[in-house]
Amino acid sequence: MQWSDAIIDSISSADFLPLIYRYALEAITVITLDTHMGGLKENPDPRVKDLIVQLQSGIRDASEIMMGVPWYKVSRLLSPQYRRMEASFNAFGGYVKEMLMAMRERLEKEGAKSEDLSVMEKVMLRCNMEPEIPTLIAFDMMAAGVDTTGNTLAFLFGHLSTHPEAQVRKVSLWFLQRRT
């Protein structure tokens, strides 16, 4: 048995998906909110773990809602998936809003230097420091970014684990790049 087969056998998708989402969420948070969540620590903050579960649940429920009968249009009570998705996205949106409010306070206290601004800081300034539109933009960036990045990483790891020749090629390229 090759070591790539051992990796596949030792990792179940149920255990691996939250790890992928942790990496994706941390990267997207840095890009979007210019801050670290601490999701890559060995023992991340319980709130970060909860946000990952909430986001994962919300994305799963959203896809099931889009593909199924739209009972939520008749009544929210007819669709437990819709209520779960709404609760998940509200929790995640609350976190995004908190981070943007902290960003707003920092910008008001320190002032804005145009060469050092992140994407969201520029959006916040353009919206006259009102958080509604930046919150929606940041939420969309993070939810879409986590899902896209997570799926890309899952595909990449799956491909590398089933193609040993690709592993060798990637490792060789990595060592060559490190030497130059």
Judge whether residue 1 has pLDDT over 50: no
- The half-sphere exposure of 58 on its side-chain side, counting CA atoms within 13 A, is 23
Q: Does residue 59 contact residue 21 with C-beta atoms inside 8 Å?
A: no
Contacts of residue 2, Cβ cutoff 8 Å, sequence gap at least 6 = 164
Per-residue pLDDT tens for 10-67?
Answer: 455 556 777 787 888 888 888 888 888 887 777 878 888 888 888 888 888 888 888 8
Taking the model in full, what pTM does it have? 0.70
What structural domains and CATH numbers belong to the chain? 3-179 (1.10.630.10)
DSSP code, position 167: H
Per-residue pLDDT tens for 65-103?
Answer: 888 888 888 888 888 889 999 998 899 889 889 989 988
